Amino acid sequence: MATKANSVPIPTLIKGIHNRWHPDIPPFVSVKPGEANWTGAQIGNNDYSDDVKDVDLRKVHNLSGPIAVEGAEPGDCLVVDILDVTPFEKMPWGYTGIFELTNGGSLLAREFNSKACKAVWDFEGIYATSRHIPGVRFAGIPHPGLIGTAPSAELLATWNAREGALIAEHPNAVPAVAFAPHAVGTHVGQDLDEKVRRKIAEEGARTIPGREHGGNCDIKNLSKGSRCYFPVFVKGANLSVGDLHFSQGDAGIITFKMSVIKDGIEKFALKQPIFLPSPIDPVYSAKVIFEGIGVDYHGDGKQYNMDATVAYKQAAQNAIAYLMKVRNLLLSAAPIDSHIGALVDSPNACVTLAIPTGIFDHDILPSPDGFTKKDFGQCAIRSDGVV
């Protein structure tokens, strides 16, 4: 039933953006608990990948906010209900990109000596298709890749100290093991005193990893209907959100509301966020599952002890090797599932990666005759032709 309350349009409150975490970035807007908010974000809809190759990682992750919530104090828990996540009406497309080994890299960058590559996805309702990956159609799970509260000065100092120590241990790592504060490319989205702006630029934590406050976690099930519990470190909580995904890596609009649980950090032993997943999830019951263990059999054959990261890399490389018989550049966008099968059997952790077979318009299951070779075209590549 229409009422005065539900007949008022939800306001678009967040027009300010920033790309560093710092307690001195003031809130762009303040809201009362229970009010709803909207947001937005970036690369070209084209058939080349120079934009991915040359991306300036010092400028990534434009976040909408910060949003202060009245009554939130350090030690509290900020509750965020995600009401909706949608693409921009006039921008119904997204992309999957592979970074250069020397500029950003990725999980398997060293293993593949990765070069820039990109696939553009077009959205039609809940489905995505790509001219660069023909024969695939899947339902997306729109979600914010990055959402979190502002750190306190003490927490920010902790981040910079521990990540700085890691960088010092691996000074020439390619790709980099972490990203230190960097003044170049810093954006705060507001007119601030020059001294404050310089302090933020010199100290502000890069937004690339997730941390205790949430941040860049890319959890696909933080979609419509999910609820998030974030620790509060500064007055007002100062929530920011961005890097919206249709499945992985797109721009759009998010609608959410917030409330506060007093002393929530103590009540829930809240060291990092807690998430309740969305009740909405595409159903793909038929899957092909690839196993990986803690042995680098795609590399030098080294045996690791209970290393789930190595096991996951092996599962992913097994899937890639399999899919290369029929296609590539899919795992970053497809609705795959990965699970830890076992962490009790020394020396090998066991991890699985499952790919839904229903997203393909042809059979990808093993058969006695192998695969029928098909021409699926070419993903967007660099203008110099390197793939």
pLDDT higher than threshold 80 for residue 206:
yes
Instruction: Using pLDDT thresholds of 50, 70 and 90, give the confidence band for residue 40.
Output: very low
- As given in the structure block, the two tokens for residue 258 are 């917030």
**Cβ atoms < 10 Å from Cβ of 109:** 19
H/E segment holding residue 148: strand 143-148
Instruction: Using pLDDT thresholds of 50, 70 and 90, give the confidence band for residue 41.
Output: very low
Among residues 94, 91, 80, 67, the alpha carbon closest in space to that of 278 is found at 80
Sign of CA dihedral 359, 362, 363, 369: negative
Sign of CA dihedral 98, 100, 104, 108: positive
pLDDT higher than threshold 90 for residue 70:
yes
User: Residue 69: helix, strand or coil by DSSP?
Assistant: strand
Q: Which of 36-40, 282-286, 298-302 holds the top average pLDDT?
A: 298-302
| pLDDT for position 386 | 65
pLDDT higher than threshold 90 for residue 151:
yes
| pLDDT for position 176 | 85
User: CA-based angle 363:366:372, to the nearest 5?
Assistant: 55
Give me the mean pLDDT over the 325-353 stretch. Answer: 79
pLDDT higher than threshold 70 for residue 330:
no
| pLDDT for position 314 | 92
| pLDDT for position 201 | 93
| pLDDT for position 6 | 41
Locate all alpha helices (DSSP H) within 152-229, ordered by sequence.
153-169, 194-203
337 backbone dihedrals φ, ψ, rounded to 5°: -125, 140
- As given in the structure block, the two tokens for residue 38 are 């909207």
The partner residues of 245 in beta bridges, in order of sequence, read: 143
Instruction: Answer with the residue of higher pLDDT: 219 or 225.
Output: 225
* DSSP structural state of residue 243: E
String of DSSP letters for 248-273: SS--EEEEEEEEEETTHHHHHT-SS-
pLDDT higher than threshold 80 for residue 104:
no
pLDDT higher than threshold 80 for residue 325:
no
Average per-residue pLDDT in the chain? 83
Burial label, 41 (beta-carbon count in 10 A; 0-12, 13-18, 19+): buried
Locate all alpha helices (DSSP H) within 107-152, ordered by sequence.
109-112
Strands 29-31 and 63-69: what pairing?
Answer: parallel
Rounded Cα gap, residues 78 and 95, in angstroms: 32
End-to-end Cα, the chain, rounded Å: 57
Q: Which of 34-43, 81-90, 105-114 holds the top average pLDDT?
A: 81-90
* DSSP structural state of residue 91: -
| pLDDT for position 4 | 47
Rounded Cα gap, residues 351 and 315, in angstroms: 7
Least confident of 221-230, 245-254, 273-282, 337-346: 245-254
| pLDDT for position 59 | 63
For the chain, give the percent of residues with pLDDT over 70: 86
**Cβ atoms < 10 Å from Cβ of 317:** 21
Rounded Cα gap, residues 189 and 199, in angstroms: 15
Instruction: Answer with the residue of higher pLDDT: 385 or 246.
Output: 246
For the chain, give the percent of residues with pLDDT over 90: 33
Rounded Cα gap, residues 359 and 336, in angstroms: 10
Rounded Cα gap, residues 158 and 249, in angstroms: 29
Residue pair 314/292 in contact (Cβ under 8 Å)? The answer is: yes
Rounded Cα gap, residues 284 and 366, in angstroms: 18
Give me the mean pLDDT over the 304-321 stretch. Answer: 90
Locate all alpha helices (DSSP H) within the chain, ordered by sequence.
50-53, 109-112, 153-169, 194-203, 264-268, 308-323
The partner residues of 276 in beta bridges, in order of sequence, read: 227
